[in-house]
Amino acid sequence: MTSGTVSEPAAPWLTPAQQRDWRALVALFMTLPPALDAQLKRDAGLNSFEYHVLAALSDAPDRALVLSELAVMSQGSLSRLSHAITRLERSGWVDRRSCADRTGRRTEARLTEAGLAKLEQIAPGHVREARRLVIDVLSSAQLAALGDAARTLLAAAVPDAPRGCPQL
């Protein structure tokens, strides 16, 4: 080798069974999130990301989280989160405020009473859609296996994610 580069070994091709399962997984990734998003947009005027931000805040102590923590929990960048928080603030569902802690000044988002009321209003419809599309069409064993597989895939895709994330 005179060029100083090392060629990568050829990737092993998928077997027909692996290809079938891989294509099913890709199809699921391409259809399920937009279906859940469509229900939230139709029924509540929110997208899935905004809904998950509200839900994460509702579960937090004092219904508030530092934006960097909220970004990790909602699986979004700080930029995406900032845009979502701005939209949620305009609706009166979230407040943004400065806070100080041992690491310095930080910004946190807090779910307002109106935001909690909105979440309580829209959560039943979202749960119905999640049940219709996923929960009720799988057996308990299938759902448990899917959850286990999803956590394994998330850990491979985001190896440095904090173990405290509810998704893992």
Q: What is the pLDDT of residues 34-48, one digit of tens each?
A: 999 999 999 999 999
CA–CA distance, 94 with 57 (Å, rounded to integer): 9
Expressed in angstroms, the distance from the first to the final Cα of the chain is 44
Q: Which contacts (CB < 8 Å, 24+ apart) does range 154-162 have?
A: 161/72, 162/72
Residue 168: pLDDT band (50, 70, 90) is: very low
Any domain includes 40: no
Eight-class DSSP state of 13: P
Any domain includes 95: yes
Residue 24, classified by CB atoms within 10 Å of its CB into exposed (0-12), middle (13-18) or buried (19+), is exposed
Q: How many distinct structural domains can be found in the chain?
A: 1
Any domain includes 67: yes
Any domain includes 142: no
The stretch 90-109 carries a mean pLDDT of 85
Q: What is the CATH number of the domain that holds 65?
A: 1.10.10.10
CA–CA distance, 86 with 92 (Å, rounded to integer): 10
- Is pLDDT above 80 for 101? no
Any domain includes 161: no
Any domain includes 14: no
- Is pLDDT above 70 for 81? yes
Question: Which tokens belong to 79?
Answer: 């930029």
Size (the chain), residues: 168
Beta strands per DSSP E along the chain: 64-66, 94-101, 104-111
Of 117 and 154, which is predicted with more confidence? 117
Weakest-pLDDT range from 4-13, 33-42, 50-59, 121-130:
4-13
| 89: containing domain | 45-121
Any domain includes 50: yes
Q: How many other β-carbons are positioned within 10 Å of the β-carbon of residue 12? A: 7
Any domain includes 10: no
